[in-house]
Amino acid sequence: MRLLTLIVLLGSVLFGTENNETKKNIQEQIKKEKKYAKEQKFYRADEYDFKGAEVNDKILESIPDQPQYNDDFNMDSVYD
């Protein structure tokens, strides 16, 4: 995206075709680049602290085993 914006800018400067449509296209590309940068900041997750969401294995050991209830939801004979 940045390369495309740079090419558009250089083309408009070198060839002197800087009209309203070119300016409009440049502004659109700048907006897209800002949106892309904001999304990448979110996806990289550099500023997020996930340590509070980690599971403590010692606490998991203290939880008793739960009974299996798979037979309670058997729907095979409902429509017979």
The confidence score (pLDDT) of residue 18 equals 55
User: Does residue 67 sit within a domain?
Assistant: no
User: Does residue 12 sit within a domain?
Assistant: yes
80 residues of the chain, pLDDT tens digit each? 677 777 777 776 666 655 788 888 889 999 999 888 888 877 777 777 778 888 888 888 888 888 877 666 777 777 86
Question: How many domains is the chain built from?
Answer: 1
User: Does residue 78 sit within a domain?
Assistant: no
User: Does residue 47 sit within a domain?
Assistant: yes
User: Does residue 34 sit within a domain?
Assistant: yes
d(Cα 60, Cα 15) in Å, to the nearest integer? 68
Cα dihedral sign, 56-58-64-70: positive
- Full-model pTM: 0.35
Q: Domain containing 8: what range?
A: 2-62
User: Does residue 53 sit within a domain?
Assistant: yes
d(Cα 70, Cα 43) in Å, to the nearest integer? 38
User: Does residue 22 sit within a domain?
Assistant: yes
User: Does residue 10 sit within a domain?
Assistant: yes
